[in-house]
């Protein structure tokens, strides 16, 4: 790498010629003088971090081999691989065979979105499991982040490519679920970061990615909700889809509570409270739906999904990761607070681990 | 910000911004457009009465956003495109110097291009633009510790790629 320094010196010689510099300066001054009022989008847009395009090419030969592996008795290998973590022998089977096959079979836009969401969540869960067991290191964190980056980029591209009709159902359901799931995982990772000092740097880096994705997904979900109100039929359809999602989320959470024999009493109590509030919020939303669906209805249902999702994640973290003391900001006691959006609640008093007390100027975004 | 201070910033940073853009996009004309747009947008920001506490970090942030937008429009910017689009064969001294540097850098850039866009960007900001982790963290809006962690990873990965490429 000695040539690196030499090249570094040479690179510094690349610059504008005096003529180019003068021409540019003259252009800038001319533009400024011709535009007395500032333009609206100043300072550049805050864009989603752009990652290298990841083209998922599942070669036919590999796909065929994977099918043979499963059919010819490799099922046990495939199943065993489901619990593999980065660094384990079967991890590549988990990613390339198990997830790869599911991806191949996802034909419709909705199926592809669900697959991308599921695989992104699996990366986050892997990071949590590894951190909880003290196995998270710089290499595994790097692998997880790279994979998470590529999945979320593809997810965003896929969501942007959907037309209004396709996006309505997906936005009402999958995106709402993902946003809530990411918020819940943020809390788990923050807690792990506090508890597991040796992995703090890597966890903070992963947390930064998860927050960035959550913010982007939140933006998508809000766009979907706004689009839903373009016409009467759309908003009712969106509300019905989300109502079903909220009801299913409560069932999942109740099942998790039923199966959480090993969870401690405090966690079970908090989870039961969350589920109970989710049910109250649904009742309020249903009452509104009888008259009309409005943006508040969609927001309430989104909130209900969030509450039941938090209960499920809390129980899972307690049972499988031995995490206690998770305190979602949604643990308010009255249902009026439950109508606020996730990000408003989470903003209160929470220190963002990304910021080290430095400037937080809004410029340039 | 006063006009004379703004023009002083232009004199001080335009070359570095151009260089950064050039090695992200490998397109001479597009790089000049983007640098110009960066300064126009920055000036308009100040016209709106907003304060800029660190002009260098601000300029890089605007530049970076414009580069990202450009990359999204065009799937890939490659050294191979450079010969066709970004570099005009010319007899003048500047053109010949760029050609010489690009030819030498091409070898290294092949390794750097194997890194993801974010890692590439971090390495360029740190080692080409001479920005510290704190400034980079302001530009990208991420915590300083996270920038340091990711920079170390990028260097480690580049080293591995470079060693494999040389020994393999």
Q: Render pLDDT for A167-180 as a digit per residue (tens, 0 to 9).
A: 666 666 778 888 88
Q: Is the pLDDT of residue A70 over 70?
A: no
Name the residue with higher pLDDT: A221 or A108.
A221
A142 and B117 within 8 Å at the Cβ level: the answer is no
Three-state DSSP class for residue B19: helix
Work out the average pLDDT over A230-251: 80
Interface A-B, measured as beta-carbon pairs within 8 A, has a size of 161
How far CA B60 is from CA of A85, A359, B99, in Å, comes to 38, 16, 25
pLDDT in tens, B42-63: 988 887 778 888 899 999 999 9
Residue range of the domain that includes A293 = 106-347
CA–CA min distance A195, chain B (Å): 18
Same domain for A93 and A210: no
How far CA B144 is from CA of B115, B136, B151, in Å, comes to 21, 8, 10
> What is the distance of C-alpha A23 from the center of its chain?
45
Chain B environment of A357 (Cβ under 8 Å) = none
Chain length of chain A:
365
Asked if residue A11 belongs to a domain, the reply is no
Q: How many CB atoms lie within 10 A of CB A339?
A: 15
Same domain for A264 and A221: yes
A205 and B146 within 8 Å at the Cβ level: the answer is yes
Same domain for A263 and A236: yes
Chain B environment of A20 (Cβ under 8 Å) = 32
Same domain for A113 and A97: no
B41 and A44 within 8 Å at the Cβ level: the answer is yes
Considering only alpha carbons, which residue of chain B is nearest residue A204?
B146
DSSP tag of B86: I
Spatial separation of the C-alpha atoms in residues A132 and A313, rounded to whole Å: 15
| A274's tokens | 């969350």
Same domain for A148 and A62: no
> What is the distance of C-alpha A69 from the center of its chain?
32
Instruction: Select from A105, A122, A143 the last residue of a domain.
Output: A105
Chain B environment of A365 (Cβ under 8 Å) = 61, 65, 141
B166 with B97: CB under 8 angstroms? no
Same domain for A336 and A249: yes
Same domain for A143 and A121: yes
Same domain for A173 and A97: no
Asked if residue A79 belongs to a domain, the reply is yes
B123 Cβ under 8 Å from any chain A Cβ: no
Asked if residue A47 belongs to a domain, the reply is no
Considering only alpha carbons, which residue of chain A is nearest residue B148?
A201
A43 and B149 within 8 Å at the Cβ level: the answer is no
Candidates A16, A53, A205; nearest CB to B18: A16
pLDDT value for A358: 33
Chain length of chain B:
168
A167 with A227: CB under 8 angstroms? yes
Q: Is the pLDDT of residue B10 over 80?
A: yes
CA–CA min distance B101, chain A (Å): 6
CA–CA min distance A78, chain B (Å): 30
CA–CA min distance A182, chain B (Å): 19
Same domain for A178 and A69: no
Chain A environment of B1 (Cβ under 8 Å) = none
Asked if residue A80 belongs to a domain, the reply is yes
Q: Looking at A171-323, list the stretches that DSSP marks H as alpha helix, in order from N- to C-terminal side.
A: 176-195, 200-227, 232-258, 265-291, 295-321
Spatial separation of the C-alpha atoms in residues A113 and A174, rounded to whole Å: 8
Considering only alpha carbons, which residue of chain A is nearest residue B75?
A53
Q: Is the pLDDT of residue A51 over 50?
A: no
pLDDT value for B111: 77
Same domain for A208 and A136: yes
A224 with A299: CB under 8 angstroms? no
Q: Is the pLDDT of residue A341 over 70?
A: no
pLDDT value for B28: 80
B45 and A353 within 8 Å at the Cβ level: the answer is no
Candidates A11, A21, A356; nearest CB to B105: A11
Q: Is the pLDDT of residue B140 over 50?
A: yes
The pLDDT-based confidence of A339 (bands split at 50, 70, 90) is: very low
Name the nearest CA neighbour of B37 among A235, A7, A41, A335: A41
Best to test chain A binding among B62, B122, B130, B139 (most A CBs inside 10 Å): B62
* CA angle, B25 then B30 then B31, to 5°: 65
B68 Cβ under 8 Å from any chain A Cβ: yes
pLDDT value for A344: 35
Same domain for A123 and A226: yes
Spatial separation of the C-alpha atoms in residues A287 and B157, rounded to whole Å: 57
Q: What domains, with CATH codes, occur in chain B?
A: 3-167 (1.20.140.160)
Instruction: Select from A78, A105, A132 the last residue of a domain.
Output: A105
pLDDT value for A338: 37
Look up the pTM and report it. Answer: 0.54
CA–CA min distance B76, chain A (Å): 8
Asked if residue A352 belongs to a domain, the reply is no
| B7's tokens | 């023009």
- The radius of gyration computed from the CA coordinates of chain A, to the nearest angstrom, equals 24
Same domain for A302 and A186: yes
**Lowest pLDDT segment from A131-140, A155-164, A330-339, B119-128:** A330-339
A356 and B44 within 8 Å at the Cβ level: the answer is no
pLDDT value for B87: 45
A256 with A316: CB under 8 angstroms? yes
Q: Is the pLDDT of residue A117 over 50?
A: yes
pLDDT value for A212: 82
A306 with A253: CB under 8 angstroms? no
pLDDT in tens, B57-92: 999 999 999 988 888 766 555 545 544 444 444 446
CA–CA min distance B75, chain A (Å): 7
**Consecutive H or E run containing A167:** helix A164-170
Asked if residue A359 belongs to a domain, the reply is no
A10 and B101 within 8 Å at the Cβ level: the answer is yes
Spatial separation of the C-alpha atoms in residues A32 and A26, rounded to whole Å: 10
Spatial separation of the C-alpha atoms in residues A195 and B6, rounded to whole Å: 47
pLDDT value for A168: 62
Chain A environment of B128 (Cβ under 8 Å) = 8, 11-12
Q: Which of A144-148, B93-97, B164-168 has the highest mean pLDDT?
A: A144-148
B42 Cβ under 8 Å from any chain A Cβ: yes
Work out the average pLDDT over A104-112: 69
Asked if residue A358 belongs to a domain, the reply is no
Total domains in chain A come to: 2
B101 and A16 within 8 Å at the Cβ level: the answer is no
Q: Is the pLDDT of residue B18 over 90?
A: yes
pLDDT in tens, A165-218: 666 666 667 788 888 888 888 888 888 888 877 788 888 888 888 888 888 888
């Amino acid at each position: 790498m000695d040539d690196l320094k030499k090249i570094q010196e040479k690179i510094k010689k690349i610059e504008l010629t005096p003529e180019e510099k003068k021409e540019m300066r003259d252009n800038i001054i001319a533009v400024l003088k011709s535009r007395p009022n500032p333009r609206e989008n100043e300072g550049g847009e805050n864009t989603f971090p752009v990652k290298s395009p990841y083209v998922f090419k599942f070669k036919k030969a590999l796909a065929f081999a994977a099918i043979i592996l499963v059919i010819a008795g490799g099922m046990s290998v495939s199943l065993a691989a489901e619990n593999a973590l980065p660094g384990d022998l079967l991890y590549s089977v988990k990613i390339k065979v198990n997830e790869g096959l599911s991806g191949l079979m996802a034909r419709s836009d909705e199926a592809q979105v669900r697959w991308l969401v599921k695989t992104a969540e699996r990366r986050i869960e892997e990071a949590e499991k590894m951190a909880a067991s003290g196995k998270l290191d710089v290499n595994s964190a790097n692998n997880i982040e790279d994979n998470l980056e590529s999945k979320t980029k593809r997810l965003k591209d896929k969501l942007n490519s959907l037309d209004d009709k396709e996006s309505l159902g997906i936005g009402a359901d999958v995106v709402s679920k993902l946003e809530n799931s990411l918020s819940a995982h943020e809390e788990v990772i923050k807690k792990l970061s506090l508890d597991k000092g040796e992995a703090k740097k890597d966890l903070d880096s992963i947390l930064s990615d998860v927050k960035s994705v959550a913010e982007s997904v939140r933006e998508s979900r809000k766009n979907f909700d706004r689009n839903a109100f373009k016409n009467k039929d759309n908003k009712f359809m969106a509300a019905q889809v989300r109502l079903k999602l909220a009801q299913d989320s409560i069932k999942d959470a109740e099942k998790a509570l039923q199966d959480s024999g090993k969870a401690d009493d405090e966690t079970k109590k908090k989870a039961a409270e969350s589920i109970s509030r989710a049910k109250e919020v649904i009742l309020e939303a249903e009452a509104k739906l009888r008259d009309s669906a409005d943006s508040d209805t969609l927001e309430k249902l989104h909130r209900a999904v969030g509450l039941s999702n938090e209960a499920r994640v809390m129980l899972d973290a307690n049972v499988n990761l031995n995490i206690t003391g998770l305190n979602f900001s949604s643990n308010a006691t009255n249902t009026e607070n439950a109508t606020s959006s996730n990000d408003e609640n989470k903003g209160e008093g929470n220190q963002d681990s990304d910021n080290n007390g430095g400037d937080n100027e809004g410029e340039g975004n | 910000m006063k006009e004379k201070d703004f023009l002083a910033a232009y004199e001080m940073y335009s070359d570095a911004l151009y260089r950064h853009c050039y090695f992200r996009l490998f397109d001479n004309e597009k790089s000049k457009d983007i640098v110009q747009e960066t300064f126009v947008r920055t000036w308009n920001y100040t016209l709106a009465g907003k304060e800029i506490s660190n002009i260098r970090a601000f300029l890089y942030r605007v530049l970076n956003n414009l580069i990202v937008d450009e990359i999204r429009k065009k799937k890939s910017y490659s050294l191979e495109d450079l010969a066709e689009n970004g570099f005009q064969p010319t007899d003048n001294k500047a053109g010949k110097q760029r050609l010489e540097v690009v030819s030498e850098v091409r070898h290294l850039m092949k390794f750097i291009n194997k890194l993801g866009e974010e890692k590439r960007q971090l390495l360029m900001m740190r080692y080409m633009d001479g920005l510290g982790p704190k400034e980079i963290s302001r530009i990208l809006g991420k915590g300083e510790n996270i920038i340091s962690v990711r920079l170390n990873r990028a260097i480690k990965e580049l080293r591995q790629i470079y060693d494999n490429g040389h020994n393999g």
